[in-house]
Structure 1
Amino acid sequence: MTFPQKDPSALLSQDDREAALQRLQEAYAEERISHEEMEQRLDQVLTAKTHGEVASALAALPEENSAPTATIAAAGGRIQRRGAWRVPRSLKVGSAYGRVHLDLSRAIIEHPAVDIELQLGTGGAKITVPRDATVDIEDLNTGWKDLRYKAPRSPHPGGPKIRIFGTMGFGRLKIRHARR
Protein backbone atom coordinates (compact mmCIF):
# COMPACT_ATOMS: atom_id res chain seq x y z
CA MET A 1 0.00 0.00 0.00
CA THR A 2 1.48 3.30 -1.03
CA PHE A 3 0.64 6.41 0.96
CA PRO A 4 -0.58 9.22 -1.34
CA GLN A 5 1.77 12.17 -1.87
CA LYS A 6 0.06 15.45 -0.94
CA ASP A 7 1.02 18.98 0.01
CA PRO A 8 3.12 18.59 3.21
CA SER A 9 1.41 21.59 4.85
CA ALA A 10 -2.12 20.30 4.15
CA LEU A 11 -4.12 19.15 7.15
CA LEU A 12 -4.42 15.41 7.59
CA SER A 13 -7.81 13.76 7.03
CA GLN A 14 -8.98 10.76 9.07
CA ASP A 15 -8.82 8.56 5.97
CA ASP A 16 -5.19 9.55 5.33
CA ARG A 17 -4.31 8.87 8.98
CA GLU A 18 -5.92 5.41 8.77
CA ALA A 19 -4.04 4.67 5.52
CA ALA A 20 -0.75 5.59 7.21
CA LEU A 21 -1.57 3.45 10.25
CA GLN A 22 -2.39 0.52 7.99
CA ARG A 23 0.91 0.98 6.09
CA LEU A 24 2.84 0.80 9.38
CA GLN A 25 0.91 -2.23 10.62
CA GLU A 26 1.59 -4.05 7.35
CA ALA A 27 5.31 -3.26 7.57
CA TYR A 28 5.35 -4.66 11.11
CA ALA A 29 3.32 -7.76 10.20
CA GLU A 30 5.77 -8.48 7.37
CA GLU A 31 8.63 -8.09 9.89
CA ARG A 32 10.20 -5.18 8.02
CA ILE A 33 10.27 -3.00 11.16
CA SER A 34 10.74 -3.87 14.82
CA HIS A 35 8.06 -3.59 17.50
CA GLU A 36 9.79 -0.57 19.06
CA GLU A 37 10.10 1.18 15.69
CA MET A 38 6.42 0.51 14.95
CA GLU A 39 5.35 2.00 18.30
CA GLN A 40 7.47 5.09 17.72
CA ARG A 41 6.10 5.61 14.21
CA LEU A 42 2.50 4.92 15.31
CA ASP A 43 2.84 7.64 17.93
CA GLN A 44 4.07 10.04 15.24
CA VAL A 45 1.12 9.24 12.97
CA LEU A 46 -1.45 9.48 15.77
CA THR A 47 -0.21 12.93 16.84
CA ALA A 48 0.41 14.30 13.31
CA LYS A 49 -1.63 17.23 12.09
CA THR A 50 -0.24 17.63 8.54
CA HIS A 51 0.76 15.39 5.66
CA GLY A 52 4.38 16.40 6.14
CA GLU A 53 4.40 15.03 9.71
CA VAL A 54 2.91 11.72 8.51
CA ALA A 55 5.37 11.53 5.61
CA SER A 56 8.28 11.79 8.05
CA ALA A 57 6.83 8.88 10.08
CA LEU A 58 6.61 6.76 6.91
CA ALA A 59 9.96 7.87 5.51
CA ALA A 60 12.64 5.23 5.16
CA LEU A 61 10.21 2.36 5.60
CA PRO A 62 11.67 -0.68 3.87
CA GLU A 63 10.20 -1.40 0.46
CA GLU A 64 6.97 -3.36 0.48
CA ASN A 65 7.36 -7.01 -0.35
CA SER A 66 5.27 -8.43 -3.10
CA ALA A 67 2.23 -10.11 -1.67
CA PRO A 68 3.12 -13.41 0.02
CA THR A 69 1.66 -16.25 -2.01
CA ALA A 70 1.10 -19.87 -1.11
CA THR A 71 -0.04 -22.76 -3.27
CA ILE A 72 -1.97 -25.82 -2.13
CA ALA A 73 -2.38 -28.48 -4.78
CA ALA A 74 -3.38 -32.11 -5.07
CA ALA A 75 -4.30 -34.36 -7.98
CA GLY A 76 -6.87 -36.24 -5.91
CA GLY A 77 -7.89 -36.57 -2.30
CA ARG A 78 -8.93 -33.85 0.07
CA ILE A 79 -7.40 -30.43 0.66
CA GLN A 80 -8.36 -29.09 4.06
CA ARG A 81 -7.27 -26.11 6.14
CA ARG A 82 -8.97 -25.24 9.41
CA GLY A 83 -8.23 -23.97 12.89
CA ALA A 84 -5.62 -21.29 13.55
CA TRP A 85 -3.70 -21.41 10.27
CA ARG A 86 -1.97 -18.35 8.81
CA VAL A 87 -3.66 -17.16 5.64
CA PRO A 88 -1.29 -15.63 3.07
CA ARG A 89 -2.19 -12.49 1.14
CA SER A 90 -2.64 -14.64 -1.97
CA LEU A 91 -3.60 -18.33 -1.93
CA LYS A 92 -3.73 -20.59 -4.97
CA VAL A 93 -5.70 -23.82 -4.59
CA GLY A 94 -5.57 -26.49 -7.28
CA SER A 95 -7.20 -29.91 -7.33
CA ALA A 96 -8.04 -32.18 -10.25
CA TYR A 97 -10.39 -34.64 -8.52
CA GLY A 98 -10.57 -33.98 -4.79
CA ARG A 99 -12.64 -31.88 -2.45
CA VAL A 100 -11.45 -28.62 -0.95
CA HIS A 101 -12.46 -27.25 2.46
CA LEU A 102 -10.99 -23.94 3.60
CA ASP A 103 -12.16 -22.69 6.99
CA LEU A 104 -11.02 -19.12 7.60
CA SER A 105 -13.28 -18.57 10.62
CA ARG A 106 -10.45 -19.06 13.16
CA ALA A 107 -7.57 -18.47 10.78
CA ILE A 108 -4.95 -15.78 11.33
CA ILE A 109 -5.63 -13.16 8.66
CA GLU A 110 -3.06 -10.38 8.77
CA HIS A 111 -3.99 -8.64 5.54
CA PRO A 112 -6.97 -6.38 4.87
CA ALA A 113 -7.62 -8.32 1.66
CA VAL A 114 -7.02 -11.95 0.72
CA ASP A 115 -7.09 -13.36 -2.81
CA ILE A 116 -8.05 -17.02 -3.21
CA GLU A 117 -7.55 -18.44 -6.69
CA LEU A 118 -9.35 -21.72 -7.33
CA GLN A 119 -8.37 -24.08 -10.14
CA LEU A 120 -10.61 -27.07 -9.52
CA GLY A 121 -11.58 -29.96 -11.78
CA THR A 122 -14.34 -32.32 -10.67
CA GLY A 123 -14.26 -31.88 -6.89
CA GLY A 124 -16.41 -29.49 -4.92
CA ALA A 125 -15.24 -26.80 -2.53
CA LYS A 126 -16.52 -25.29 0.70
CA ILE A 127 -15.11 -22.03 2.05
CA THR A 128 -16.08 -20.64 5.45
CA VAL A 129 -15.14 -16.98 5.84
CA PRO A 130 -15.03 -14.88 9.02
CA ARG A 131 -18.33 -13.40 10.11
CA ASP A 132 -17.18 -9.83 9.40
CA ALA A 133 -15.60 -10.59 6.00
CA THR A 134 -16.85 -9.23 2.71
CA VAL A 135 -16.72 -11.64 -0.22
CA ASP A 136 -16.07 -10.75 -3.87
CA ILE A 137 -16.85 -13.55 -6.35
CA GLU A 138 -17.22 -11.51 -9.55
CA ASP A 139 -14.21 -13.09 -11.28
CA LEU A 140 -15.13 -16.70 -10.50
CA ASN A 141 -15.98 -18.91 -13.45
CA THR A 142 -18.23 -21.80 -12.49
CA GLY A 143 -18.71 -24.60 -14.99
CA TRP A 144 -21.25 -27.32 -14.50
CA LYS A 145 -22.65 -26.58 -11.03
CA ASP A 146 -23.84 -23.33 -9.58
CA LEU A 147 -22.37 -21.29 -6.78
CA ARG A 148 -24.00 -21.26 -3.36
CA TYR A 149 -23.35 -18.01 -1.55
CA LYS A 150 -25.73 -15.72 0.23
CA ALA A 151 -24.28 -12.42 1.43
CA PRO A 152 -25.32 -11.44 4.96
CA ARG A 153 -28.26 -9.06 5.25
CA SER A 154 -26.46 -6.82 7.70
CA PRO A 155 -22.73 -6.96 7.04
CA HIS A 156 -20.32 -6.49 9.96
CA PRO A 157 -17.82 -3.76 9.06
CA GLY A 158 -14.10 -3.97 9.65
CA GLY A 159 -13.38 -7.49 8.45
CA PRO A 160 -11.10 -8.62 5.66
CA LYS A 161 -12.13 -8.59 2.02
CA ILE A 162 -11.96 -12.10 0.56
CA ARG A 163 -11.72 -12.18 -3.23
CA ILE A 164 -12.41 -15.62 -4.70
CA PHE A 165 -11.68 -16.11 -8.39
CA GLY A 166 -10.53 -18.73 -10.85
CA THR A 167 -12.26 -21.71 -12.43
CA MET A 168 -14.54 -24.39 -11.04
CA GLY A 169 -15.02 -27.44 -13.26
CA PHE A 170 -17.75 -29.92 -12.33
CA GLY A 171 -17.96 -29.34 -8.59
CA ARG A 172 -20.09 -26.98 -6.55
CA LEU A 173 -18.66 -24.13 -4.51
CA LYS A 174 -20.34 -23.30 -1.20
CA ILE A 175 -19.33 -20.15 0.63
CA ARG A 176 -20.72 -19.29 4.05
CA HIS A 177 -20.00 -16.83 6.82
CA ALA A 178 -19.02 -18.19 10.24
CA ARG A 179 -21.72 -17.91 12.86
CA ARG A 180 -19.38 -16.69 15.59
Structure 2
Amino acid sequence: MTDDRLPQRPELRVSHADRDRVAEQLQIAAGDGRLTMDELDERLERALNARTGSELEVLVRDLPTAPGAVGSAPAEVKDLVSIDVTSGSAQRQGRWVVPRAMNLKARSGNIKIDLTEAIIAHPLLKIQADVRSGNITIVTRPGIEVLMDEVSVRSGNTKVRVPRSPTPAATYLRVEVSGSVGSGNITARPPLRGFMDWLRRRPVRYPALPR
Protein backbone atom coordinates (compact mmCIF):
# COMPACT_ATOMS: atom_id res chain seq x y z
CA MET A 1 0.00 0.00 0.00
CA THR A 2 1.46 3.36 -1.04
CA ASP A 3 1.33 6.54 1.01
CA ASP A 4 -0.53 9.16 -1.08
CA ARG A 5 0.06 11.96 1.37
CA LEU A 6 1.88 14.98 -0.05
CA PRO A 7 5.28 15.70 1.47
CA GLN A 8 5.29 18.56 3.96
CA ARG A 9 6.49 21.87 2.58
CA PRO A 10 9.76 23.01 4.15
CA GLU A 11 9.62 26.05 6.42
CA LEU A 12 10.40 29.33 4.68
CA ARG A 13 13.77 30.95 5.27
CA VAL A 14 13.87 34.32 7.06
CA SER A 15 15.29 37.53 5.58
CA HIS A 16 17.73 40.11 6.93
CA ALA A 17 14.72 42.34 7.72
CA ASP A 18 13.14 39.53 9.80
CA ARG A 19 16.34 39.14 11.83
CA ASP A 20 16.58 42.91 12.30
CA ARG A 21 13.00 43.12 13.61
CA VAL A 22 13.66 40.44 16.23
CA ALA A 23 16.98 42.06 17.20
CA GLU A 24 15.15 45.37 17.72
CA GLN A 25 12.56 43.67 19.93
CA LEU A 26 15.29 42.01 22.00
CA GLN A 27 17.12 45.30 22.51
CA ILE A 28 13.93 47.04 23.62
CA ALA A 29 13.24 44.20 26.07
CA ALA A 30 16.76 44.53 27.50
CA GLY A 31 16.27 48.28 27.86
CA ASP A 32 13.05 47.59 29.81
CA GLY A 33 14.95 45.27 32.16
CA ARG A 34 13.32 42.06 30.87
CA LEU A 35 16.62 40.55 29.68
CA THR A 36 20.06 40.60 31.26
CA MET A 37 23.00 41.64 29.10
CA ASP A 38 24.17 38.01 28.91
CA GLU A 39 20.71 36.91 27.76
CA LEU A 40 20.63 39.72 25.21
CA ASP A 41 24.03 38.77 23.78
CA GLU A 42 23.04 35.10 23.55
CA ARG A 43 19.71 35.79 21.85
CA LEU A 44 21.17 38.35 19.44
CA GLU A 45 23.75 35.81 18.31
CA ARG A 46 21.02 33.21 17.78
CA ALA A 47 18.90 35.74 15.88
CA LEU A 48 21.84 36.60 13.63
CA ASN A 49 22.31 32.92 12.74
CA ALA A 50 18.61 32.00 12.52
CA ARG A 51 17.47 30.44 9.26
CA THR A 52 13.73 29.87 9.81
CA GLY A 53 10.82 31.70 11.38
CA SER A 54 10.48 29.17 14.22
CA GLU A 55 14.09 29.79 15.24
CA LEU A 56 13.33 33.50 15.57
CA GLU A 57 9.93 33.05 17.21
CA VAL A 58 11.34 31.08 20.13
CA LEU A 59 13.68 33.99 20.96
CA VAL A 60 10.80 36.41 21.66
CA ARG A 61 8.11 33.98 22.82
CA ASP A 62 8.41 35.09 26.46
CA LEU A 63 8.53 38.84 25.67
CA PRO A 64 5.68 41.35 25.24
CA THR A 65 5.41 42.65 21.70
CA ALA A 66 3.53 45.90 22.39
CA PRO A 67 3.83 48.84 24.76
CA GLY A 68 1.08 48.44 27.33
CA ALA A 69 1.13 44.62 27.22
CA VAL A 70 0.94 42.58 30.43
CA GLY A 71 3.60 43.84 32.80
CA SER A 72 4.04 47.19 31.02
CA ALA A 73 2.96 50.53 32.39
CA PRO A 74 0.22 52.21 30.33
CA ALA A 75 1.42 55.07 28.16
CA GLU A 76 0.60 58.55 29.45
CA VAL A 77 -0.82 60.54 26.54
CA LYS A 78 -0.53 64.34 26.76
CA ASP A 79 -3.24 66.51 25.26
CA LEU A 80 -0.76 68.99 23.74
CA VAL A 81 2.98 69.22 23.06
CA SER A 82 4.49 72.49 21.74
CA ILE A 83 7.84 72.85 19.98
CA ASP A 84 9.17 76.29 19.00
CA VAL A 85 12.44 76.45 17.03
CA THR A 86 14.08 79.71 15.96
CA SER A 87 17.37 78.78 14.29
CA GLY A 88 18.30 75.46 15.85
CA SER A 89 16.71 72.02 15.63
CA ALA A 90 14.43 69.78 17.68
CA GLN A 91 13.30 66.20 17.26
CA ARG A 92 11.17 63.48 18.76
CA GLN A 93 12.29 59.95 17.97
CA GLY A 94 12.58 56.46 19.40
CA ARG A 95 9.97 55.22 21.89
CA TRP A 96 8.29 58.50 22.74
CA VAL A 97 4.57 58.82 23.52
CA VAL A 98 2.58 60.55 20.78
CA PRO A 99 0.23 63.23 22.20
CA ARG A 100 -3.25 64.04 20.90
CA ALA A 101 -2.09 67.37 19.44
CA MET A 102 1.13 69.26 18.66
CA ASN A 103 1.91 72.93 17.98
CA LEU A 104 5.04 73.16 15.84
CA LYS A 105 6.72 76.49 15.03
CA ALA A 106 9.81 76.58 12.80
CA ARG A 107 11.09 80.05 11.99
CA SER A 108 14.44 79.22 10.41
CA GLY A 109 15.27 75.93 12.13
CA ASN A 110 14.26 72.29 11.74
CA ILE A 111 11.80 70.03 13.54
CA LYS A 112 11.76 66.26 13.04
CA ILE A 113 8.86 64.12 14.29
CA ASP A 114 9.79 60.43 13.91
CA LEU A 115 6.77 58.13 14.36
CA THR A 116 8.37 54.84 13.28
CA GLU A 117 9.01 53.59 16.85
CA ALA A 118 6.67 55.89 18.75
CA ILE A 119 4.17 54.64 21.33
CA ILE A 120 0.78 55.38 19.76
CA ALA A 121 -2.16 55.15 22.14
CA HIS A 122 -4.60 57.35 20.23
CA PRO A 123 -5.70 57.00 16.55
CA LEU A 124 -5.54 60.72 15.70
CA LEU A 125 -2.72 63.27 15.95
CA LYS A 126 -3.53 66.89 15.10
CA ILE A 127 -0.58 69.11 14.19
CA GLN A 128 -0.84 72.90 14.00
CA ALA A 129 2.18 74.02 11.99
CA ASP A 130 3.67 77.49 11.58
CA VAL A 131 6.65 77.39 9.20
CA ARG A 132 8.31 80.62 8.11
CA SER A 133 11.62 79.65 6.53
CA GLY A 134 12.36 76.43 8.41
CA ASN A 135 11.44 72.79 7.90
CA ILE A 136 9.18 70.22 9.54
CA THR A 137 9.77 66.56 8.72
CA ILE A 138 7.35 63.79 9.76
CA VAL A 139 8.83 60.29 9.44
CA THR A 140 6.18 57.61 8.92
CA ARG A 141 5.70 53.92 8.20
CA PRO A 142 2.93 51.76 6.67
CA GLY A 143 -0.26 52.27 8.69
CA ILE A 144 0.34 55.98 9.30
CA GLU A 145 -1.67 58.34 7.09
CA VAL A 146 -0.72 62.02 6.82
CA LEU A 147 -3.16 64.66 5.54
CA MET A 148 -2.05 68.23 4.69
CA ASP A 149 -5.18 69.57 2.99
CA GLU A 150 -5.56 72.34 5.60
CA VAL A 151 -2.09 73.86 5.14
CA SER A 152 -1.81 77.21 3.32
CA VAL A 153 1.39 77.67 1.32
CA ARG A 154 2.97 80.95 0.15
CA SER A 155 6.34 80.30 -1.52
CA GLY A 156 7.31 77.07 0.26
CA ASN A 157 5.93 73.58 -0.28
CA THR A 158 4.33 70.55 1.34
CA LYS A 159 4.95 66.95 0.31
CA VAL A 160 3.64 63.56 1.41
CA ARG A 161 5.49 60.39 0.39
CA VAL A 162 3.43 57.31 1.23
CA PRO A 163 5.51 54.43 2.66
CA ARG A 164 5.55 51.34 0.48
CA SER A 165 4.35 48.04 1.88
CA PRO A 166 4.34 44.57 0.26
CA THR A 167 0.88 43.99 1.73
CA PRO A 168 -1.91 46.54 2.44
CA ALA A 169 -1.50 48.07 5.90
CA ALA A 170 -4.52 49.12 7.95
CA THR A 171 -4.36 52.73 9.16
CA TYR A 172 -3.72 52.86 12.91
CA LEU A 173 -2.73 56.54 13.11
CA ARG A 174 -4.05 59.50 11.11
CA VAL A 175 -2.01 62.71 11.24
CA GLU A 176 -3.97 65.85 10.32
CA VAL A 177 -1.70 68.82 9.62
CA SER A 178 -3.05 72.37 9.42
CA GLY A 179 -1.46 75.82 9.51
CA SER A 180 0.77 77.79 7.15
CA VAL A 181 4.09 77.63 5.30
CA GLY A 182 5.98 80.78 4.31
CA SER A 183 9.17 79.91 2.43
CA GLY A 184 9.88 76.67 4.25
CA ASN A 185 8.77 73.06 3.91
CA ILE A 186 6.61 70.41 5.55
CA THR A 187 7.48 66.88 4.44
CA ALA A 188 6.04 63.51 5.45
CA ARG A 189 8.15 60.54 4.33
CA PRO A 190 9.31 57.05 5.26
CA PRO A 191 12.80 56.62 6.82
CA LEU A 192 15.79 57.15 4.56
CA ARG A 193 17.71 54.04 3.58
CA GLY A 194 21.35 53.65 4.53
CA PHE A 195 23.95 53.69 1.78
CA MET A 196 24.43 49.90 1.74
CA ASP A 197 20.67 49.29 1.67
CA TRP A 198 20.36 51.75 -1.21
CA LEU A 199 23.30 50.18 -3.03
CA ARG A 200 21.85 46.67 -2.67
CA ARG A 201 18.33 47.93 -3.40
CA ARG A 202 16.97 46.67 -0.11
CA PRO A 203 13.57 48.04 0.93
CA VAL A 204 13.18 50.29 3.97
CA ARG A 205 13.39 48.22 7.14
CA TYR A 206 11.04 49.15 9.98
CA PRO A 207 11.15 48.20 13.68
CA ALA A 208 8.77 45.41 14.71
CA LEU A 209 5.17 46.52 15.13
CA PRO A 210 3.02 45.46 18.13
CA ARG A 211 0.92 42.41 17.25
Which category describes the TM-score, using the shorter chain as reference length? Answer: 0.5 to 0.7
Conserved 8 A contact 2:80-2:101: yes
Deviation at 1:174, TM superposition (A): 1.7
- Corresponding residue number in structure 2 for 1:93: 104
- Corresponding residue number in structure 2 for 1:69: 80
Counterparts of 1:1-180 in structure 2, within 5 Å, are 68-151=79-162, 155-178=168-191, 179=204, 180=206
Distance 1:77 1:111, change over 3 A: same
Conserved 8 A contact 2:157-2:181: no
Give the letter aligned to residue 70 of structure 1: V
> How far apart, in 1, do the equivalents of 2:164 and 2:149 lie?
19
Deviation at 1:160, TM superposition (A): 0.7
> What is the percentage of aligned positions where both structures have the same residue?
26
Deviation at 1:30, TM superposition (A): 7.9
Give the letter aligned to residue 138 of structure 1: D
Count of residue pairs the alignment pairs up: 119
Give the letter aligned to residue 149 of structure 1: V
> How far apart, in 2, do the equivalents of 1:80 and 1:153 lie?
24
Give the letter aligned to residue 190 of structure 2: H
Distance 1:74 1:105, change over 3 A: same
Conserved 8 A contact 1:126-1:173: yes
Deviation at 1:75, TM superposition (A): 2.1
- What secondary structure is seen at the aligned counterpart in 2 of 1:137? strand
- TM-score, with normalisation over the residues of structure 1? 0.58
- TM-score, with normalisation over the residues of structure 2? 0.50
Deviation at 1:86, TM superposition (A): 1.0
Deviation at 1:177, TM superposition (A): 3.2
Structure 2 residue ranges without an equivalent (≥5): 1-73, 192-203, 207-211
